[in-house]
């Protein structure tokens, strides 16, 4: 049975900190801090913030930041593109509609995952203490949409929202996410593609869907790897 908003564990307040440098965003809960060992974000001596004390009624009359806050506080439903229904976060963690396991929220970050200058909230999920998935929240047309992505699908997540992916030793690359109401896909910014014919393996390299040399590709890959890592914060009620 779906829980009512009042029965979900809530936070006394949520502070949202926004840093515009390099399209980086920092989203901090009261009582939460950076994950030990993770790079820290420079929010300045007096970062802008606002607090939300009362319940949030609907995403339609709030900004994207406030809507994310409502979802993560358990006061606001989001539309799960996996279950095809609106659900509270705690209910989704108990039954995600895809895998027959319960999930726990461990860490979170706020990043611009699709390059539109508006942030998404990224929640790291574990099963039996091991990282397994991300639930990514995207604000669109007055509603928060949730997308469940396997942990291996977002490797080396960077502070600008880009990440690496791989489907084989010679098939890999980096990209961003592309959000739709029905689901999410990867926009490949750079990738390699292998082809084996008559026992011979050939590998082609692309950046922005244009063929490039291996040297150009490797140089761009090095630049991607050199980007700062995403800043994670402990998610704790």
Maximum CA extent, the chain: 66
| Letter string b/e over residues 14-26, b meaning 16 or more CB atoms within 10 A of that residue's CB | bbbbbbeeebbbb
Hey, where are the domains in the chain?
A: 11-161+230-234, 163-224
Average pLDDT over residues 47-58: 37
With beta carbons less than 8 A apart as the criterion, state whether 102 and 127 touch: yes
Q: Measure the CA–CA gap between 194 and 171, rounded to whole angstroms.
A: 6
pLDDT in tens, 67-87: 999 999 999 999 999 999 999
Q: Which two tokens stand for residue 188?
A: 């490949």
Q: Which two tokens stand for residue 108?
A: 């979170």
pLDDT in tens, 79-137: 999 999 999 999 999 988 888 899 999 999 999 999 999 999 999 999 999 999 999 99
pLDDT in tens, 208-233: 999 999 999 999 999 999 999 999 99
């Amino acid at each position: 049975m779906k829980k009512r908003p009042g029965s979900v564990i809530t936070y006394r307040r949520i502070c949202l900190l926004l840093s515009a440098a390099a399209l980086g965003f920092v989203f901090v809960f009261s009582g939460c801090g950076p994950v030990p060992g993770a790079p820290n974000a420079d929010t300045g001596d007096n970062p802008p913030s606002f607090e939300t004390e009362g319940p949030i009624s609907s995403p339609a009359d709030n900004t994207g930041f406030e809507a994310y806050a409502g979802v993560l506080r358990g006061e606001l439903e989001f539309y799960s593109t996996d279950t095809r229904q609106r659900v509270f976060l705690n209910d989704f963690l108990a039954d995600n509609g895809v895998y027959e396991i319960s999930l726990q929220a461990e860490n979170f970050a706020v990043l611009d995952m699709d390059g539109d200058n508006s942030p998404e909230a990224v929640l790291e999920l574990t099963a039996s203490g091991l990282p397994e998935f991300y639930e990514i929240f995207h604000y669109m047309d007055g509603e928060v949409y949730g997308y469940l992505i396997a942990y291996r699908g977002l490797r080396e997540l960077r502070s600008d929202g880009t990440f690496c992916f791989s489907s084989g030793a010679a098939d890999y690359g980096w990209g961003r996410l592309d959000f739709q109401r029905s689901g999410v896909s990867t926009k490949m910014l750079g990738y390699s593609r292998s082809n084996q014919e008559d026992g011979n393996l050939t590998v082609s390299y692309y950046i922005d869907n244009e063929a490039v040399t291996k040297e150009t590709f490797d140089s761009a890959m090095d630049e991607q790897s050199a980007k700062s890592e995403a800043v994670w914060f402990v998610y704790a009620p």
